[in-house]
């Protein structure tokens, strides 16, 4: 089995005033391609820190992080940006759409930073919008959409650059149960297509959709259960 | 790549249109800066060109010697003062002097058929018309032959002719000056008053002049002038009011001026009753003044552009803070630091370019607007305007061609310089912090 990502003794410290906070201590995880992982744990347990490291938004204090075959832990800002643009998709709790852009423009945004867009890319973005059920809202702005619709735009956006890896930070945290199911169905479908999905959640029902649940406490792995 | 660029620009414009008033005010700052560069330079240029023109109209190859009244407390003051016919004789023989044109001016009253005009009687020779750029309307100016004669012939300025002869043809009519009667042989065209040019040369108003041969003045009126001052009679003896020397070559003007000054100093001693004006010297001074003017105006304009730039920076810093979250989102989606820098820089460049273009367009309207405003003000508050110096009253801006690309270039430069700091600040934000920003 090929690994989508590999974490080796990953640690992250934050210096807050005179104190050093060990947000993540010596974490090692192998993530095979196509895995579907829920990361759970109380707040302050290190799950957001882990997600930031996995999302190449931050660099570890020590340890190594391989994405595909590349050691990401030593990369500079420019290289990390390129990785984010080409290999990762993000879904956030608060949707994080750009308010002045239309639905279509929001979906296309990652392609723009990947270095240009072909006609096929554009067609694919339209298909993605249709897939999430917003084919008739392409010219709307985020403020004109409901929370569930905005999150569906965000899901479509995370797929625009055809990433291997989807990182979702409490994607259903702001949604009611009906829309939660819709979004999770979309994530399930993405996983069925072979993408690796890692999602952070507090909710057991959400975690139940995944194949593997990793629990964190005080910056360490408490349990790693494959269902 | 081109696609990305078009998108960057589109996005920049779009973001700016999201806050139309804010963008407009920022543009206004740059616009005022650019327009003021063009305006101030144009006004400065207009004033100095006017001054140069006036000096040039005196003739760069001329030297003008004028009689001035010595100050009353001058111990050498006497009834007789000013330049004399003897002086004329001495100056005429300087080898570089082509010719010397003397005039004698007197305040007089002119009468005809019950009409009275108070004006200036100018005793002169035939060359005077050419020297002061006077043109004949009807008849002829004092001729060469008349210059040497003592005939009672006179030439009227257009205004005097109109006021003395409201209904008749003045030609060949007679007018009375003191006890003498003069025959009108010509009428001149209207000539605008010249303005004074620093130094000893006051502005000249030609509208109340009549011209007669200088020999006639000498013969009929003489050198003695009786003035009544505070009930006392007071006599003055003046032979000549002015001598204009034409020099054979512009290169000889300055040396000749020295000779003229020395010659006169020897004759007049300490008596300060004449002044030598060298238009060429004035011209050189005016050119130096022009440079100073341009520097000064340029500095004022630079300050207003700087203020505009600070306005841009202020707005962009606010925009960056306001859009922190958006920056985080874009970074998460793969935007590099340089992408963020470009995104914000494009916005400031759009602002400053639009401000620059509008500024240039408004800058170009400088001439008509200033002239219009001047005319309005003259109609509205004629007294106040009348008291202003002539250079200001007759101001006509002349756009300095280089000021247009200069102002535009500076505005874009300022946009980039002042936009760079906010843009870099945006790019250096920690993406995680930015995403958390509320």
CATH of the domain at A89: 3.40.50.300
Q: Does residue A177 form part of some domain?
A: yes
Q: From residue B288, how far is each of B284, B285, B293, B295 by CA, in Å?
A: 6, 5, 9, 11
A23-37, B40-54, B237-251: segment of lowest average pLDDT: B40-54
Query: Is residue A98 domain-resident?
Result: yes
Q: What is the mean pLDDT of residues B401-412?
A: 86
CA distance B408 to B30: 10
Q: Which residues of A touch B330 (CB under 8 A)?
A: 98, 109, 113
CA distance, residue B335 to nearest chain A CA (Å): 5
The range of the structural domain enclosing residue A104 comes to: 35-59+77-226
Question: For the residues of A139-194, what is the DSSP string, one character each?
Answer: T--GGGS-HHHHHHHHHHHHHTT--SEEEEESTTTTS-HHHHHHHHHHHHHHHHTT
| Least confident piece of the model among A157-161, B108-112, B191-195, B306-310 | B191-195
The pLDDT assigned to A27 comes to 93
CB contact under 8 A, A116 and B330: no
Q: According to the model, what pLDDT value does residue B224 have?
A: 79
> Which residue of chain B has the CA closest to A89?
B333
**Chain B CB contacts of A24 below 8 Å:** none
pLDDT digits (tens, 9 = 90+) for A118-156: 889 899 999 999 999 999 999 999 999 999 999 999 999
State whether A100 and B18 contact (CB < 8 Å).
yes
Average pLDDT, chain B: 85
* Summary mean pLDDT of chain A: 91
CB contact under 8 A, A81 and B335: yes
Q: Are strands A165-169 and A3-16 parallel, antiparallel or unpaired?
A: unpaired
**Cα B324 from chain centre:** 54
- A179-207 mean pLDDT: 92
In a domain, A67, yes or no: no
Domain count, chain A: 1
Show the 3-state SS of chain B. CHHHHHHHHHHHHHHHHHCHHHHHHHHHHHHHHHHHHHHHHHHHHHHHHHHHHHHHHHCCCEEEEEECCCCCCCCCCCCECCECHHHHHHHHCCCCEEEEEEEEEEEEEEEECCEEEEEEEEEECCHHHHHCCCCEEEECCCCHHHHHCCCCEEEECHHHHHHHCCCCCCCCCEEEECCEEEEEEEEECCCCCECCECCCECCECCCCEEEEEHHHHHHHCCCEEEEEECCEEEEEECCECEEEEEECCHHHHHHHHHHHHHHHHHHHCCCCCEEEECHHHHHHHHHHHHHHHHHHHHHHHHHHHHHHHHHHHHHHHHHHHHCHHHHHHHHHCCCCHHHHHHHHHHHHHHHHHHHHHHHHHHHHCHHHHHHHHHHHHHHHCHHHHHHCCHHHHCCCCCCCCCHHHHHHHHHHHHHHHHHHHHHHHHHCCCHHHHHHCC
> Which residue has better confidence, B387 or B95?
B95
Q: Give me the pLDDT at residue A96, please.
A: 93
Q: Using an 8 Å CB-CB cutoff, list residues of chain A that contact chain B.
A: 52, 55, 57-58, 77-78, 81-82, 84-86, 88, 90, 92, 96-100, 109-110, 112-117, 157, 161
pLDDT band at B3 (very low <50, low <70, confident <90, very high): low
- Find, in chain B, the residue whose alpha carbon is nearest to that of A112: B4
A18 occurs within a structural domain: no
Name the minimum distance, in Å, from the CA of A98 to any CA of chain B. Answer: 6
Asked if residue B198 has pLDDT above 50, the reply is: no
* Backbone angles phi and psi of B420, in degrees to 5: -65, -45
Report the gap between the CA of B343 and the closest CA in chain A (Å): 12
* DSSP state at residue A227: -
Q: Where are the domains of chain B?
A: 2-55+284-436, 69-272
Could you tell me which chain B residue has the CA closest to the CA of A78? B336
Residues of A in contact with B331 (CB under 8 A): 57, 81, 84
Cβ neighbours of A109 in B, within 8 Å: 330, 333
Contacts of B15 in chain A (CB under 8 A): 100
pLDDT of residue A53: 93
Q: Coil, strand, or helix at residue A94?
A: coil
Contact check, Cβ <8 Å, B15/A100: yes
| Residues A167-184 pLDDT 10s | 999 999 888 988 899 999
Q: Are the beta carbons of A55 and B332 separated by less than 8 Å?
A: yes
Q: Hey, are the CB atoms on B4 and A115 less than 8 Å from each other?
A: yes
Say which of B7, B329, B432 has its CB closest to residue A112.
B7
Q: Which residue has the tokens 């005016």?
A: B286
Residue A215 is assigned to a structural domain of this protein: yes
Residues in B touching A116 (Cβ below 8 Å): 1, 3-4
The C-alpha angle A180, A183, A184, rounded to 5 degrees, equals 85
- Span B9-29, average pLDDT: 86
Structure tokens at A22: 């060990």
User: What integer is the mean pLDDT of B203-217?
Assistant: 85
> pLDDT tens digits, residue range B49-87?
877 777 777 778 888 898 888 776 555 445 788 888 889
Q: What is the mean pLDDT of residues A26-52?
A: 92
- Region A61-72: mean pLDDT is 90
Average pLDDT over residues B373-392: 79
């Amino acid at each position: 089995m090929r690994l989508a990502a590999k974490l080796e003794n990953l640690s992250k410290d934050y210096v807050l005033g005179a104190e050093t906070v060990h947000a993540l201590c010596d974490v090692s995880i192998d993530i095979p391609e196509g895995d579907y992982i829920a990361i759970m744990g109380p707040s302050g347990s290190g799950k957001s820190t882990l997600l930031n490291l996995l999302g190449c938004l931050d660099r570890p204090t020590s340890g190594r992080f391989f994405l595909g075959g590349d050691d990401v832990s030593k990369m500079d800002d420019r290289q990390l940006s390129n990785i984010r643009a080409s290999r990762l998709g993000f879904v956030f709790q608060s949707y994080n759409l750009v308010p002045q852009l239309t639905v279509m423009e929001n979906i296309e945004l990652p392609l723009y930073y990947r270095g240009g867009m072909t006609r096929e890319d554009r067609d694919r973005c339209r298909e993605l919008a249709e897939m999430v059920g917003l084919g008739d809202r392409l010219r709307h702005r985020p403020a004109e959409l409901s929370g569930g619709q905005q999150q569906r735009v965000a899901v479509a956006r995370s797929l625009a650059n055809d990433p291997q890896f989807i990182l979702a930070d409490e994607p259903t945290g702001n949604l009611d149960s009906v829309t939660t199911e819709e979004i999770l169905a979309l994530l399930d479908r993405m996983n069925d297509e072979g993408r690796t999905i890692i999602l952070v959640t507090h909710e057991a029902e959400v975690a139940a959709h995944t194949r593997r649940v990793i629990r964190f406490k005080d910056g360490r792995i408490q349990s790693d259960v494959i269902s | 790549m081109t696609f990305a660029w078009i998108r960057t620009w589109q996005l920049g414009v779009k973001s700016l249109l999201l806050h139309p008033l804010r963008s407009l005010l920022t543009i206004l700052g740059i616009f005022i800066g650019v327009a003021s560069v063009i305006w101030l330079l144009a006004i400065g240029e207009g004033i100095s060109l006017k001054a140069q023109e006036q000096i040039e109209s005196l003739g760069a190859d001329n030297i003008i010697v004028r009689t001035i009244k010595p100050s009353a407390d001058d111990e050498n003051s006497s009834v007789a003062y000013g330049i004399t016919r003897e002086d004329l004789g001495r100056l005429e023989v300087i080898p570089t002097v082509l010719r010397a044109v003397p005039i004698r001016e007197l305040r007089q009253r002119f009468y005809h058929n019950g009409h009275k005009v108070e004006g200036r009687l100018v005793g002169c020779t035939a060359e005077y018309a050419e020297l002061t750029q006077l043109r004949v309307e009807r008849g002829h100016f004092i001729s060469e032959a008349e210059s040497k004669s003592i005939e009672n012939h006179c030439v009227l300025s257009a205004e005097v002719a109109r006021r003395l002869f409201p209904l008749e043809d003045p030609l060949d009519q007679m007018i009375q000056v003191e006890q003498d009667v003069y025959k009108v042989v010509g009428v001149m065209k209207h000539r605008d008053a010249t303005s004074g040019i620093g130094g000893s040369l006051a502005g000249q108003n030609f509208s109340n002049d009549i011209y007669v041969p200088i020999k006639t003045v000498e013969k009929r009126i003489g050198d003695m002038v009786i003035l009544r001052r505070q009930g006392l009679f007071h006599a003055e003896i003046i032979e000549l009011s002015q001598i204009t020397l034409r020099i054979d070559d512009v290169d000889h003007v300055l040396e000749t001026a020295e000779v003229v000054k020395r010659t006169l100093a020897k004759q007049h001693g300490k008596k300060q009753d004449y002044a030598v004006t060298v238009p060429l010297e004035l011209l050189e001074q005016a050119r130096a003044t022009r440079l100073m003017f341009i520097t000064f105006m340029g500095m004022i304009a630079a300050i207003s552009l700087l203020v505009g730039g600070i306005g841009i920076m202020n707005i962009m810093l606010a925009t960056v803070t306001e859009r922190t979250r958006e920056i985080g989102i874009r970074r998460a989606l793969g935007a590099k630091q340089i992408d963020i820098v470009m995104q914000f820089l494009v916005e400031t460049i759009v602002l400053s370019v639009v401000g620059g273009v509008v500024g240039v367009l408004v800058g170009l309207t400088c001439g008509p607007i200033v002239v219009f405003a001047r005319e309005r003000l003259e109609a509205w508050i004629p007294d106040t305007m009348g008291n202003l110096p002539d250079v200001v009253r007759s101001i006509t801006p002349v756009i300095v061609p280089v000021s247009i690309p200069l102002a535009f270039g500076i505005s874009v430069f300022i946009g980039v310089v002042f936009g760079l700091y906010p843009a870099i600040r945006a790019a250096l934000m920690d993406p995680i912090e930015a995403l958390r920003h509320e």
